[in-house]
Structure 1
Amino acid sequence: MTGTDGSVPTRSGSSALDDLLDKQAIYEVVMRYCRGIDRLDFDLVRGAYHPDGVDHHTGFDGGVEEFIAWVRPKLALFGGTMHTIGNHLVELHGNRAISESYFAATHWGHPEFGDFTSGSRYVDLMERREGRWAIVERWAVREWTRSDEGRMITPEAAGPRGRRDGTDPLVELQSRLAAR
């Protein structure tokens, strides 16, 4: 919550450092969700929500498990997706928070819809339960969509490519570090 002078007041009984740590934890919930969607890692997606979490997307309203069952086959039809988070603002209200994240989501390689980018916002009600911040209710608010059909080009040279399976460079690096 922002004061009329633009300052960010701390919650009663909390310190500015506590507020920053909470805001960082909430930001990381949003980032893990995006990674999970883009890499088809539905455990990461599931972990961004509390078990009773609700999602409101274009064409969907329901619980987190139903959301995953709905989105998984849709995402599998794309060659890939990439979420880029822009503005991110959190209003803390004790163990609850409002998180607003502006983002662009690029989708490519769908046999029917082709390539497109959407500008949207995640408006999230977050709660801290047993020390863990997660989404209780999310609205994926679509602001605009544009067709990118015919704009994708073949990579200019060989090199690392993103994959949505266990061979992505991130997964390989995580495995390497976990083995040590």
Structure 2
Amino acid sequence: MDDTSNAIADLFDKQAIYEVVLRYCRGIDRLDYDLIRSAYHPDGIDHHTGFDGPVDEYIQWLRCKIETFDGTMHFVGNHYVELFGDRAISETYSTATHWGGGPAGPAGLNFTSGARFVDLMERRDGMWAISERWAIREWTRSDAGRFIAPEAAGPRTIRGSSDTFHQLRLSLA
């Protein structure tokens, strides 16, 4: 391959890795456990605050955690990838807001955290996925008492298969 072909192949790989991170975040926010699972290889390992182990156990642990919230929203910022053939290191900055229990809900259900996802990614059978993740918590702040009610009627978050995105996808399929 020439230099241009190598550069284009690297861009495709980096985009595929970025989309793994986005699938994970979307899966968390929409309670789509299959989507979360698809971000990992079957033997994937996850290291999170409060959890350390195999991906299937992580998803069960996660299910108990995130379903206590009324919602979560993960924003992805800086994304850096170093490629090593069929392996890569991916570092993604994320801000995640969690809410529940109404506008004056408890601090444990209303907080925002800044984190970095440091991922060992592997391409297997042509697909990139996480083989090991370290979710490094950088900071957390309480948002208790800061949430306010919506100012008017309009679309609201629905977690799960009734979500607007899922419904629109079904209408186009």
Scaled by the length of structure 1, the TM-score of the pair is 0.90
The partner residue of 2:155 within 151, 160, 167 is: 160
The partner residue of 1:86 within 73, 77, 82 is: 77
CA-to-aligned-CA distance 1:38-72 (integer Å, 9 cap, x gap): 10100001000000000000010000100001010
Which secondary structure state, in structure 2, belongs to the residue aligned with residue 15 of structure 1? Answer: helix
Note the C-alpha offset of 1:162: 1.3
Q: Sequence identity, in percent? A: 66
Aligned to 1:63: 54
Aligned to 1:49: 40
Runs of 5+ unmatched residues, structure 2 = none
Note the C-alpha offset of 1:167: 1.9
Which secondary structure state, in structure 2, belongs to the residue aligned with residue 158 of structure 1? Answer: coil
Is residue 150 from structure 1 mapped to residue 145 from structure 2 by the alignment? yes
Which secondary structure state, in structure 1, belongs to the residue aligned with residue 29 of structure 2? Answer: helix
Which secondary structure state, in structure 1, belongs to the residue aligned with residue 63 of structure 2? Answer: helix
Letter in 2 for 1:49: Y
Aligned to 2:67: 76
Runs of 5+ unmatched residues, structure 1 = 1-9
Q: State the superposition RMSD in angstroms.
A: 1.8
Deviates more, 1:81-90 or 1:103-112: 103-112
CA distance in 1, matches of 2:165, 2:74: 16
Scaled by the length of structure 2, the TM-score of the pair is 0.93
Letter in 2 for 1:85: V
Aligned to 1:40: 31
Note the C-alpha offset of 1:168: 1.2
CA distance in 1, matches of 2:58, 2:4: 37
Report the number of matched residues.
169
